[in-house]
Amino acid sequence: MASQSDHKAAIIDGKAIAQTIRNEIAEEVRHLSQKYGKVPGLAVVIVGNRKDSQSYVSMKRKACAEVGILSLDIDLHEDVSQVDLIAKVHELNANPDVHGILVQLPLPKHINEEKVLSEISIDKDVDGFHPLNIGKLAMKGREPIFLPCTPKARQLSYVFKSNTDRCRRTHIYGAVRGFHVAFSGFVL
């Protein structure tokens, strides 16, 4: 049995690992483009002009551009009605060039986030917030269509590429990830 002193901390180079992952995704996108003449399309819907949300969405757009993913930017005014926002979500659900939809949270107080998120097609809900997706995530033996923002596959890529056996929880989606990790046998 290994003693406590046999376990050494490993310093990982997060930037290098992230670049490796971006390179792998860019290669996958190039392959899709060559094979099908299409690239994945991500629609990012943002309501209002919160600086933190704008900054986060800007990073998403930059990441899409870097790997060759089509980024569709939907910027709506703070006072957009819930009906109009849901109509935009339905439009994106029907758009064949959109393969994933993100609605940036939080939404303004006059909009019911749960209602809006439940209107995103489960097949395009890349945040993994659709109620059916969350339900599958929480049930042992069921695979969600999409994992929340810190997906298991990428999380495990960090573990395997860094030769460590533990990852720390991120602060934002830890509870939802915790469901999945608990049922898949991995320890965070």
Residue 109 has pLDDT above 70, yes or no: yes
> Catalytic residue numbers?
60, 104, 127
Both 122 and 137 in a single domain?
no
Both 168 and 102 in a single domain?
no
Q: How far is CA 7 from CA 1, 4, 164, 166, 187, in A?
A: 12, 6, 10, 12, 16
> Is 151 within a domain?
yes
Residue 184 has pLDDT above 60, yes or no: no
> Is 144 within a domain?
yes
Both 49 and 78 in a single domain?
yes
Domain containing 114 equals 37-127
Nearest 5°: phi and psi at 121? Answer: -55, 130
Both 163 and 96 in a single domain?
no
pLDDT per residue over 127-141, tens digit each?
888 778 777 777 777
Q: What percent of the chain has pLDDT over 70?
A: 72
Dihedral of CA atoms 13, 15, 21, 22 in degrees, nearest 10, equals -170
Both 79 and 140 in a single domain?
no
Structure tokens that stand for 162 in this block:
């860094």
Both 68 and 138 in a single domain?
no
pTM above 0.85, yes or no: no
Both 141 and 116 in a single domain?
no
d(CA 124, CA 127): 9
d(CA 69, CA 92): 16
**What pLDDT score does 5 carry?**
58
- At position 48, the amino acid (one-letter code) is G
H helix and E strand count, the chain: 7, 3
Q: What is the DSSP letter of 6?
A: G
- At position 50, the amino acid (one-letter code) is R
3-state SS, residue 75: strand
Both 111 and 178 in a single domain?
no
Q: How many domains does the chain have?
A: 2
Q: Which residues pair with 75 in a beta bridge?
A: 46
d(CA 183, CA 177): 10
- What CATH number is given to the structural domain containing 105? 3.40.50.10860
**What pLDDT score does 36 carry?**
92
pLDDT per residue over 29-52, tens digit each?
999 999 999 999 999 999 999 998
Residue 68 has pLDDT above 60, yes or no: yes
